[in-house]
Structure 1
Amino acid sequence: MSRELTPFEHLVANHLCDGLSNAAIARTTSHSEKVIENTVSRMARAFGINSNGDTNVRVLLALAYRTHFGDSSLDRLNLDCSHSKIE
């Protein structure tokens, strides 16, 4: 990661990891969709994720965020993910 994320970026990333759309994140945070789009773009750059038309930046960003900061979004679903357990 090229820089630390802002508190707002962490908030947006957590909502993104929860599967919310930009529109839903905008409603939840009382911001415009454009603000959310710009925030997602800035976070993608911070993680070194480039948009090339063949990739889904939001998916890659969620994966990068979870890898870097943990899977708290997945934990909140209370699913038994036996494939991720270390024995």
Structure 2
Amino acid sequence: MKHLPFKLSILVFLIALLSGFYMKLPLMDNLIRAFVIYLVFSVVELIVLLIYNQTLYAMIKTQLEARKEEAAQAEEPVPVENQQLENN
């Protein structure tokens, strides 16, 4: 899973390169076109990964804060008035 973005970007580059050969473009034009497509795809891929990581980080952070609040509430001592009412 770690190498999936790299493999996808290489696959996009190769598909762009092969489609250029199919369209019978000159070699330099084909390489430049494939490289530009590769760069655009890589930037889009990085943006998607950044958004995913930020949302995952925010979700984990809110879960951690909720657990801290629950732990703090569990550690609160019961007020004396409530203890007396419970004993009666």
Q: As a proportion of its length, which structure holds more helix? A: 2
Give the TM-score normalised by structure 2. 0.27
The structure having more radius of gyration, on CA atoms, is 2
Give the TM-score normalised by structure 1. 0.27
